[in-house]
Amino acid sequence: MPVVNLTPHVVTVVDARSRVIQRWPRAPEPARVEAVRVPVRGAAGVPAGVPLVAERRTRANLPEPQEGVWFIVSSVVGSAHPERRDLLVPSDLVRDGRGVVTACRSFVISGTPVRGAPDKGRAAPDPGRTGGRDQGQGGGRGKARGGERAGDKERDMVGS
């Protein structure tokens, strides 16, 4: 099954010994979410002078689901589209000595609820099959990050 990286960074998956399992190139036009922030005046229990904002995020500029195709996205993009079952969000992040994310060890399948105890034999859902759920699209710009091989000079990021 094809996997398409929709982040602006190279995404690298490594095993427990930091050996590269797979690498995907960065997207020329990454999926992004825009956040609109509006100042809020005080809230009960929050000390006076502490700045507060309300935030509204737009939907990402994702392609339509395609049967059998997975899309790698940031956690921000994945969270903006809980109805999508074809999104992979980098997880189990690997960081260098400075705390910079250099790779991931797994992906979370966005929008897939966990039921019962983990089952290593359970198959992942078929991407692109959403059962008629809302597939609304939206434009926007924001942050989405990918990953690079642990220890490389180029420091791309994974996550949001």
What gap in Å lies between CA 133 and CA 80, rounded to an integer?
14
What gap in Å lies between CA 79 and CA 131, rounded to an integer?
19
> For residue 13, what pLDDT is reported?
98
| Residue 84, strand partner residues | none
Q: Which amino acid is located at 2 in the chain?
A: P
Residue written as token pair 């020329």: 28
> For residue 4, what pLDDT is reported?
98
> For residue 153, what pLDDT is reported?
33
> For residue 117, what pLDDT is reported?
52
> For residue 41, what pLDDT is reported?
85
Phi/psi-derived region of residue 21, left when phi > 0, alpha when psi is between -120 and 50, beta in every other case: alpha
Span 73-79, average pLDDT: 93
Max CA pair span of the chain? 54
> For residue 139, what pLDDT is reported?
36
Of 124, 108, 102, the C-alpha closest to 20 is 102
Mean pLDDT taken over the chain:
78
> For residue 7, what pLDDT is reported?
95
Query: Is 120's pLDDT higher than 70?
Result: no
